[in-house]
Structure 1
Amino acid sequence: MKKVRGIYIKNSAEIALMREANRIVSVVLDALGEAVAPGVPTMRFEEIAQDMCRQFGVQPAFQGYGGFPYALCCSVNEEVVHGFPSRERILREGDVVSFDMGVVYERFYGDSARTFAVGTVSDAARDLLDATRESLHRGIAQAQPGNNLYDVSRAVQEFVEARGYSVVRRFVGHGIGRKLHEKPEVPNFVPSGMAGPVLKPGMVLAIEPMVCAGTCEVEILEDKWTAVTKDRKLSAHFEHTVAVTHEGPVVLSVS
């Protein structure tokens, strides 16, 4: 593994290990999505994630990371990221719930996130989820060798803001590999006065739009982890781990 401007370049064998790590994450997210329903306590999703990590023989990537106590980030409605699973928090019809999941497989990390509708949701909630998911696809399409990293950021930001939504600025995507968070940071907006790195084959990025129905400003709750929208309006979060290759972007976090 070599570095370019501090960014790790993975070889084909390393990317193959990351593909498996991310495949496992995708399978876990599939199972979590199937379990989403009104009346389910959010701790149930933590139990599913823990059970599946044991079945696959992998380590939950988030548990213990910086002191985070769970395998799963489970964020409901106005919770943007890093929400705690809870036996007291019961999903209700019309909620949206985001799952952010990571594992360690053969010393390499996988990381992906999805937001799900709970039962029948409002048109506004459905539109937010659709826009966030599509903004991720728009960003991934720009992860081409020779492009600037901020081409990814611009694609997300322009798509989201053209639809009247905002992108969170406090949290960003990231490089990923033998560490959960590597260089470069992958913002969902174009930072002013900064030049992003040129994308090269072998770079692996966790691209993760966090999109809000209202303000992009967030607050951290008393648990010191859960980030919520300052205006308490809905938020959605989608993430894929993507390898930059000579043939273009390859999404690793698929089943």
Structure 2
Amino acid sequence: MKRNKINWTVPKGAELTELDKKVLYWQNKGHLVPRRSLIKTPEQIEGIRRSGVVNTGALDLVAQEIHAGMSTAEIDQLVHNYITSHGGIPATLGYEGYPKSVCTSINEVVCHGIPSEEEILEEGDIINVDITTILDGYYADASRMFIIGKTSPEKEKLVRVAKECLEIGMEAAKPFCFVGDIGNAIQKHAHKNGFSVVRDLCGHGVGLEFHEEPDVEHYGKKGTGMLLVPGMVFTIEPMINMGTWEVFIDEEDGWTVVTEDELPSAQWEHTFVMTEHGLEILTH
């Protein structure tokens, strides 16, 4: 059997802990396991949790204010002001050249939509608002879907099923199971409801940086991908499409991801910490 690279190492002379024994068991069987640095300390988890409180407050504010006739630039201003007034930094602002403090993705836009004064919300739109906050050096990342007024039954179902996919993915994530278990559960539920799962983007480790290991794909096979170990912090953020799973990036802005067939897409996201009993949400 071909072995994966060794990630989990025990300091020379150190006594093996129960955690070491469990991780080394799977590593010795050839599975991908995390590096020790991906296991957050209680202090780090508490810092990420505090960042999550600010991030959630920003999303709650959007939920109160969002309406037809509002520009996505107004959403950006709301989020920016809320995060900065609570001592945080909007993580997206200036990240690899991204120009705004939030991502606003309407209808066929899968993710990374750039807020604009010209983009006005209309009755029947569905929109994903994706916010990442840095507070005292700790990152928290979450997004929600909003339905503007009354929309079609098909869009309503898409938004509902996308949220169910997040919840089902969360339930599938157990300590000492694998990232692939999450993707497998999400893919089954999406397909059962006639939808597809975007494959070109994924969830990710988060906390001390914007993007860390592991990649959390929302499709795949059980028993594959990285071992899930207590203390790991990561997002699950399934992007569920009404039509094909294939996407393209808008050439004009280099950021906006759109469904290939331009049918609607929906996404929900939380930041989680793996505990000995399962996932805990850090972005309520």
What is the identity, as a one-letter code, of the residue corresponding to 2:157? Answer: D
TM-score by length of 1: 0.95
Q: Distance in 2 between matches of 1:191 and 1:52?
A: 40
1:236 is matched with which residue?
266
Is 2:184 the partner of 1:157?
no
Which of 217, 232, 235 is the equivalent residue of 1:203?
232
What is the CA deviation profile of residues 11-68 of structure 1, one whole-angstrom value per residue up to 9, with x for unaligned ones?
Answer: 1111111111112111111111222211111110000011101210101111111111
- Whichever residue aligns with residue 197 of structure 2, its letter is V
Which of 32, 35, 39 aligns to 2:65? It is: 35
Identity %: 36
- 1:219 partnered with 2:248: yes
Classify the secondary structure of the residue corresponding to 1:236.
Answer: strand
Give 1:142's aligned residue.
172
> Secondary structure of 2:93's partner?
coil
Q: Given residue 158 of structure 1, which amino acid in structure 2 is its aligned partner?
A: K
Q: Check conservation: 2:107, 2:263, Cα contact below 8 A.
A: yes
Give unpaired runs (5+ residues) of structure 2: 1-7, 10-32
* SS, match of residue 171 in structure 1: coil
Structure 2 equivalent of residue 98 of structure 1 = 128
Which among 147, 162, 167 is matched to residue 132 of structure 1?
162
- The structure with the larger Rg is 2
Write the distance in 1 (CA, Å) between the matches of 2:261 and 2:64. 30
Please, which runs of 5 or more residues in structure 1 have no aligned partner? none
1:84 is paired with a residue of what secondary structure? coil
SS of 2:49 mapped into structure 1: helix
Greater relative contact order: 1 or 2 (C-alpha under 8 angstroms, separation 6 or more)?
1
Q: Structure 1: which amino acid aligns with 2:191?
A: E
Following the alignment from structure 2 to structure 1, what is the Cα–Cα distance between the partners of residues 84 and 166?
Answer: 30
Q: State the superposition RMSD in angstroms.
A: 1.5
In the alignment of these two chains, the number of paired residues is: 252
TM-score norm. by structure 2 comes to 0.86
Q: Tell me the CA shift for residue 191 of structure 1.
A: 6.4
Higher share in strand: 1
